[in-house]
Structure 1
């Protein structure tokens, strides 16, 4: 014979089984008042209480030392122009395709030191034009020095007009094209080096 189980004198009336939770499984938004279900939350809000990473801001271009960048560009232009002048003297003619190399050297120096300042690409283009012009004049002065024995420095200081006239005599449409290409490469190299 079985004995009845003891009853708990502190227990309340028997409870009905709990209704199934329609929101069990993935967390969802409970229905709005009136029983109309709300649309599912956005994916970032799916896990309640989970930390959501804020959107990342776009990278701000870094501007470095602009005056030093201009000086570096002038220095690169002078160094490249001297090299260009010796090449002009060796070949005994202008070799305008080297304007692209001068532009790349100037632009790289300006962009690396100056950063992403928006004025630096046009400045690099202007410095490139100066470098190409000075290199061609220097090469012409070296050729005059070799043929006539005239000193190079007085050609720039005392007889610059004659040197310039000789440069203009060799200036043609191809020279304009390579000057433009040199300026373009100077500006684009400065922008690329400044952004990196």
Structure 2
């Protein structure tokens, strides 16, 4: 007669000893997703999907890249040209140099450099130099506007065809206040760059 071998003993958990008379419980199975992949993670529903009629928040606008020195310099150059034109128009229309306008020239250039270029210390130096050039160019534009008004000529004719005479007129009328406006614009550009990059 053949005797069947007894089943091998099953290891018991040390925390829960089983008595021989107690039947073993089946292991708990996790519910599987519909696609049959037991390892796929279920995603929580979106917070607005469960609430009918809820308005989702507006999309966040993309942040412009920061820390690009070339972009900061390019922005400062564009701001310097625009500020020089506006500063020259103020001088030409009022026939006076105005201190707050020089501050505005420097601040706009520094703001453009700092916002677009980031914290690079080179940008503060570049924006200061551009502010000095912008004030000088603006003063020449103002001189050309005043000269065109006095000579009954067009601005472009005086500025482009008689540029040497415009520079000579600027040299004759330059005084310590003229150079103070240079210093004001340079300081505003330097500090504006550092504040905008912070």
Q: Does the alignment reach a TM-score above 0.5? A: yes
Deviation digits for residues 154-178 of structure 1 (CA, Å, limit 9, x no counterpart): 4333321110011111211111122
Shift of the alpha carbon at 1:180?
0.9
Matches within 5 A, 1:39-78: 64-78=67-81
Shift of the alpha carbon at 1:107?
0.2
**CA RMSD across the alignment:** 1.7
Contact 1:124 1:187 in 2 (8 A): yes
Matched, 1:118 2:137: no
Matched, 1:163 2:169: no
Contact 1:103 1:183 in 2 (8 A): yes
Looking at structure 1, the residues matched to 141 and 104 of structure 2 have their Cα atoms a distance apart, in angstroms, of 17
Matches within 5 A, 1:30-179: 64-179=67-182
Looking at structure 2, the residues matched to 76 and 63 of structure 1 have their Cα atoms a distance apart, in angstroms, of 17
Contact 2:119 2:194 in 1 (8 A): yes
Matches within 5 A, 1:3-22: none
For structure 1, the residue ranges without an aligned partner over 5 or more in a row are: 1-61
Shift of the alpha carbon at 1:148?
1.3
Matched, 1:182 2:185: yes
Shift of the alpha carbon at 1:95?
2.4
| More displaced 10-residue stretch of structure 1: 151-160 or 125-134 | 151-160
Shift of the alpha carbon at 1:97?
4.0
Deviation digits for residues 90-134 of structure 1 (CA, Å, limit 9, x no counterpart): 211222442111000100000000000110101000000111111
SS at match of 1:122: helix
Contact 1:88 1:136 in 2 (8 A): yes
Looking at structure 1, the residues matched to 73 and 153 of structure 2 have their Cα atoms a distance apart, in angstroms, of 33
Looking at structure 2, the residues matched to 164 and 97 of structure 1 have their Cα atoms a distance apart, in angstroms, of 23
For structure 2, the residue ranges without an aligned partner over 5 or more in a row are: 1-64
Structure 1 residues 132 and 87, CA, compared in 2 at 3 Å: closer, same or farther? same
